[in-house]
Amino acid sequence: MNAQSEGDHGERVLVAGASGFIGRRLTANLVKAGYLVRALVHRPSASAPVAGVECVVGDITRPETCRGVERDVNIIVNCAGCLGKWGMDPECIRVVNAEGATQLLSGFGSQPPMRFIHLSTVGVTGPLGTDIGSEQTRCSPRGVYQQSKYAGEQGILQAGVECGIPVVVIRPSFTYGPGDSHKLALFRAIKRGRFAFIGHGTALLHPVFVEDLVAGIMLAITHGAAGGVYNVGGAEPVSVRRLVHSIADEVGVTRPILSIPTFAATALAACCEALARATGIQPILSRSRVDLMSGGYGYDITHARRELGYTPQYDLESGISRTVDDYRASGWL
């Protein structure tokens, strides 16, 4: 049976950012479920995420480059975004993350979709310390990336109200899995014995395996409430120490024990960033990384469980195992 015919949805989904880590996985799962998929990618060199999927090149911040993508589209899933990596132009991050979704929707004119699913991030809350966040937690985003993502979700929710289009916001937590080049540096540092905890490693993170996140997005397509915001994470938050130890065990190295006080790590990161600006070399430590590893980003996913029927299928150890296997098979680790 052809993948396109395994389901009977007959609905066409436009996936923006379809060549990215999450978008590629989502596209494959949508096709398998029987949706018709149009993949919107940013670069001409980006290949179609799945063989046979219609691939269109366009920039979500410039609707004139996306003409034709709206044809017969029932659902939009916006996975496009600009990561807050060192060296990225802050204005580029702001434009893509804060304005991209509403710009994409504006290009649909008289052919609005029936539903718009937008990927934000749990990080819009800012660091939580020892608290566990929820969708009701007051948002205090820190830094250009978190601020831009918060502005983006607020903008598309407002646009949905104005256009009468149901908009659902998904806030993924710390996403990882096969093919993720962004988290690869963490795995490599641990394997090479170059990882040090910031503080005592007791700060919380909320890992979610990419297949669980994609399942949550697909549930949002069918079950998400208009204007709904959902945290989608793994089964539970874990300490940074537990995450790192799980990776160390899987790659077969001694568990790291070195730790740096948070105030010292912050000062070191500032020096590394100053040196990076002067030399153009990537800093070995950045203040955003210090924040991630010490700020506390743990969340309650009860809302997604109840309204979407979302249930994570992968525990931390099985997800890390599959990720390491893929990194090794790809020659990355």
Q: How far apart (Å, rounded) are the C-alpha atoms in residues 73 and 37?
A: 9
Does position 9 have pLDDT exceeding 70, yes or no?
A: no
Does position 70 have pLDDT exceeding 90, yes or no?
A: no
Q: What sign results for the dihedral spanned by CA atoms 146, 151, 156, 158? A: positive
Per-residue pLDDT, averaged over 234-257, amounts to: 97
Give the number of other CB atoms < 10 A from CB of residue 164: 8
- Of 39, 11, 36, nearest to 25 by C-alpha is 39
Q: How far apart (Å, rounded) are the C-alpha atoms in residues 39 and 241?
A: 38
Cα 244 to chain centroid distance, Å, stands at: 20
Does position 83 have pLDDT exceeding 90, yes or no?
A: no
- Of 175, 137, 168, 132, nearest to 153 by C-alpha is 168
Percent of the chain with pLDDT over 90: 75
Does position 3 have pLDDT exceeding 70, yes or no?
A: no
Does position 110 have pLDDT exceeding 90, yes or no?
A: no
| Size of the chain in residues | 333
Phi–psi pair at 319, nearest 5 degrees: -65, -45
pLDDT band of residue 102 (cuts 50, 70, 90) is very high
For residue 1, what pLDDT is reported? Answer: 29
Does position 48 have pLDDT exceeding 70, yes or no?
A: no
Q: How far apart (Å, rounded) are the C-alpha atoms in residues 193 and 224?
A: 43
- Of 254, 264, 283, nearest to 199 by C-alpha is 264
Characterize 61-77 residue by residue with b for buried, 16 or more Cβ atoms within 10 angstroms of its Cβ, and e for exposed: bebeebeebbeebbbbb
Does position 10 have pLDDT exceeding 80, yes or no?
A: no
Q: CA-based angle 258:262:266, to the nearest 5? A: 110
Residue whose token pair is 């120490």: 241
Per-residue pLDDT, averaged over 129-143, amounts to: 95
For residue 4, what pLDDT is reported? Answer: 38
For residue 69, what pLDDT is reported? Answer: 87
Q: Where are the domains of the chain?
A: 3-181+207-235+298-313
Please report, for the chain, how many H helices and E strands are present, in that order. Answer: 11, 15
Per-residue pLDDT, averaged over 113-118, amounts to: 93
**Cα-based torsion angle of the residue sequence 161, 22, 32, 39 in order, rounded to the nearest 10 degrees:** 70
Superfamily of domain 3-181+207-235+298-313: NAD(P)-binding Rossmann-like Domain (3.40.50.720)
Please tell me which of 31-45, 101-115, 116-130 the model is most confident about, judged by mean pLDDT: 116-130
- Of 155, 157, 145, 153, nearest to 94 by C-alpha is 145
Q: How far apart (Å, rounded) are the C-alpha atoms in residues 174 and 206?
A: 6
Query: Which residue spans within the chain are E strands per DSSP?
Result: 12-16, 36-41, 54-57, 75-78, 115-119, 132-133, 167-172, 174-176, 197-198, 204-205, 207-209, 229-232, 238-239, 259-260, 298-299
**What single-letter amino acid sits at 22?**
I
pLDDT band of residue 2 (cuts 50, 70, 90) is very low
What 8-state DSSP symbol labels residue 96?
I
**What single-letter amino acid sits at 20?**
G
Residue 305's contacts (CB-CB under 8 Å, 6 or more residues apart) are: 311
pLDDT band of residue 199 (cuts 50, 70, 90) is very high
Joined together, the tokens standing for residue 178 give: 């096969």
Per-residue pLDDT, averaged over 96-119, amounts to: 89
